[in-house]
Amino acid sequence: MYSSRTRHNTDVYRKTHNLKVRLHKALSKVPEDQLSDEEHQLKSTIGNLPEIAILQLIYQQKAYEGDSKDHEFSGTSMREHWTSGYEDTKRTLRRRDWIRMPEDGMGLAIHDVHRESEQY
């Protein structure tokens, strides 16, 4: 399902962050005098979540690469990997909207040049 632990970890973090945002919105609808001490504490803790932008730069395995890519460090392979990373970085930096921090209330945004149509 996940070819990258990085994507898996950021997906889990995004889901957790979004649940906290939704919980804070729900707790904000409850009158203050009806919240327990624990709920007040929770609301206070999650009330100041930061706006976060994550830019993912994840190597994309080439069709001709096999399982050896994890331990194949020839000069040719390394130059190809470096070039790929350099090109991904240039593509990411061209997306000026990705480099800006999310607006207040947006929460968490994850951007990936290999999934340009997706924004969370």
Asked, for residue 93, whether it belongs to a domain, the answer is yes
pLDDT at site 43: 93
Asked, for residue 42, whether it belongs to a domain, the answer is yes
Asked, for residue 19, whether it belongs to a domain, the answer is yes
Instruction: Report the domain count for the chain.
Output: 1
Query: For residue 107, which of 33, 18, 38, 19 has the smallest C-alpha distance?
Result: 18
Q: Would you say 58 and 110 are in contact if contact means Cβ atoms under 8 Å apart?
A: no
pLDDT at site 120: 46
- pLDDT less than 70: residues of the chain: 1-3, 60, 62-70, 105-106, 116-120
Please tell me the distance from the alpha carbon of residue 87 to that of residue 110, in angstroms, as a whole number. Answer: 19
Range of the domain at 80: 5-115
pLDDT at site 94: 87
Asked, for residue 120, whether it belongs to a domain, the answer is no
Digit-coded pLDDT (tens) for 67-101:
666 677 788 888 888 888 898 889 888 888 887 77
Q: Would you say 108 and 102 are in contact if contact means Cβ atoms under 8 Å apart?
A: yes
